[in-house]
Structure 1
Amino acid sequence: MISQAKLPPLNAIRAFEAIAKHGSVSQAALALHVTHGAVSRQLRLLEEDLGCALFERRGRGLVITDAGRHLRDVSTEALELLRGARQRLRREIQATALVLSCPGSILARWMIPRLEQLRREQPDLELHLSASEKPPGPTLDGLDATLLIAEPPWPDAWTVHSLATEHIGPVMAPVIAEALSAQDASPRALLRQPLLHTASRPQAWPTWARAQGMQTDALRMGQGFEHLYYLLEAAVAGLGVAIAPQQLVADDLSAGRLVAPWGFTPTSAEWVLCSRAGHPDERIPRLAGWLHAQLTETH
């Protein structure tokens, strides 16, 4: 039968161990980066829990009691075992690639061009990348994390790191932009154009049009594509005007392959990095920080 004996509070044990090691409450507080009063309260809590004194005050110093020496030996051994187990688990996690899923358009047009920079700046953060057009289920389907452009609400089983607000806008090859500006330099020039669109984001054009004060029923939909990646390749090839998230076309804009005459408009969607709630992998918040920095460089 499993013992139901109550364990002493762990924070109080850590405070006690520090006092026993350093010989004073003040030095223990410095080592633990807390206040003198916090350490004193934890010691008092532990002594009340055990029903015995662990130190005796002699002059201005503390002398450990027989009960304190016994607890020190046992607790030091137990904490070292816990620290060793934590280090082993962290090494095992670090030795395994982080499995990250994202839509193919994000993978091809944003993640892959930045992998070399990620390796330089985070050399111990190895990723195994998986393309998926369908958002994973609440348990992430065995993935460590997923990178998405999406809108809340999120599943309760996810921890969600918000990275950046999505911005969308019309993009086109320079030759098409020149032809449009010769007719009408305002966004309303698009009302006369068949617009490239994608089945994965049917609301992208109407969302942008409403932000411009335009009637959505005046839009003319042209060639459709199954995925955003194909849509943007068609725009680069000069097949028409596409609607795209700013970050996914930033490299094309810098290289002059695409232009965005009317800029980009924020939407209610976000770039997010999602993991399972309670997932202890410390690489995930590090990756979220790196992604946030990269995404916000665009603005």
Structure 2
Amino acid sequence: MAAEHDEVPLNAIRVFVAIAREGSVTRAASTLGTTQSSVSRYLAVLQDYLGADLVERRGRRSELTEFGRLFVNTVAEPLDTVCFTAKRMRRRTQADGNRIVVRTSLSTFAHSFLIPNLSAFSAEMGGVIVDVISSLSPPTSSDDFDILITRDLSVIEPADDWEIYNETLVCVGSPNHVTGRSLSIVRSMPILNITSRPDILPTWLRAMNLSTKDIKPGARYDHNYLALPAVMTGKCLLVTPEILVGDLVRGGVLQVLPGSRTPSGMQYRAYAVDRSDKPEIARAFCRWLARLCKKAAILESG
């Protein structure tokens, strides 16, 4: 039993580093893809092993103890090195070398625009498999990806980057409800709210010389891809990046309100990280995506 107790709880250390980086058990659980109770159990195991508290409650908040800060500062970097090395060596020994991993913070962009076009890239590149993962958390050098597509995150490691899209906003609705109507319809028809992009509606309202008092607020959705079915079938409007609804507009499923188009000031970029073990495929993907977005922007302006 004593020998078993002396084994270093490596999984618990990894969980504690996540708690320290994320600032809470809840966010650490989300980052690790597990439950809060599981994270709390790992924390208890590590505290028991070390014989010291690592986290203390301050009102409703949790903060690292002095010992906890000392411990995480000591183990975090070596842990990152171990994880990074293991992932790189694992990928190098995989039989399937014709695969890249694309990570993105733009879930609706991936759902509505990127993924439907991936078969074309695969065909162009002789059957390359593209894995797509979505995360809003800042990437680290130990994360397993070849390409990052983002509008709001930055890469802290060497990478080539491409500007792929300067975001343009439009207000759309079902043709059944907006055909023949002017921009003034926003005063009477609800506009859906996207909580993951709280910047969109205020930016658009300023460009239209409107305020929140001039519109009728509608239902809230976490992401644009959840709101799209609602605006396609309901009596409501959605202010959204035009690239997300371009195919729906051209197919007659949605209609852009005249005069509602405006730049948001946000820029989508693609990064091909230097540590990728398939750098040429990663760079080819970024060049392909830049061409695809340029073509979409031309269709939008036309």
Q: Which residue is equivalent to 2:130?
A: 127
Unmatched runs of 5 consecutive residues or more in structure 2: 1-90
Amino acid at match of 1:240: C
Corresponding pairs, count: 203
1:14 matched residue in structure 2: none
Radius of gyration: which is bigger? 1
Does structure 2 conserve the Cα–Cα contact (< 8 Å) formed by 1:145 and 1:275? Answer: yes
Deviations 1:115-137 (A, max 9, x none): 2222232225321122x241442
Structure 1 residue 275, shift from structure 2 partner: 3.6
1:107 and 2:104 matched:
no
Confirm or deny that 1:273 pairs with 2:270.
Answer: yes
List gaps (5 residues or longer) in structure 1.
1-88
* Maintained 8 Å contact 2:162/2:290: no
Q: How do 1:1-299 and structure 2 match up within 5 A?
A: 95-102=97-104, 103-130=106-133, 132-139=134-141, 141-148=143-150, 150-151=151-152, 154-157=154-157, 159=159, 160-178=161-179, 181=181, 185=182, 187-262=183-258, 263-277=260-274, 279=276, 281-298=279-296, 299=298
Contact kept, 8 Å, 2:166 with 2:267, in 1: the verdict is: yes
CA-CA distance at 1:215 after TM superposition: 2.6
1:118 & 1:167 partners in 2: Cα distance?
Answer: 25
Task: Name the CA distance, whole Å, in 2 between partners of 1:210 and 1:191.
Answer: 15
Distance in structure 2 (CA, Å) of the matches to 1:236 and 1:140:
40
State the one-letter code of the partner of 2:262. Answer: T
**Structure 1 length normalisation: TM-score?**
0.60
Which residue identity lines up with residue 131 of structure 2 in the other structure?
H
1:266 CA displacement? 1.5
Amino acid at match of 2:112: R
Give the structure-2-normalised TM-score.
0.60
Tell me, what secondary structure is at the counterpart of 1:297?
helix
Q: Displaced runs of 4+ in structure 1, greater than 4 A?
A: 89-94, 277-280
- The Cα of 1:94 is off from its aligned counterpart by 8.2
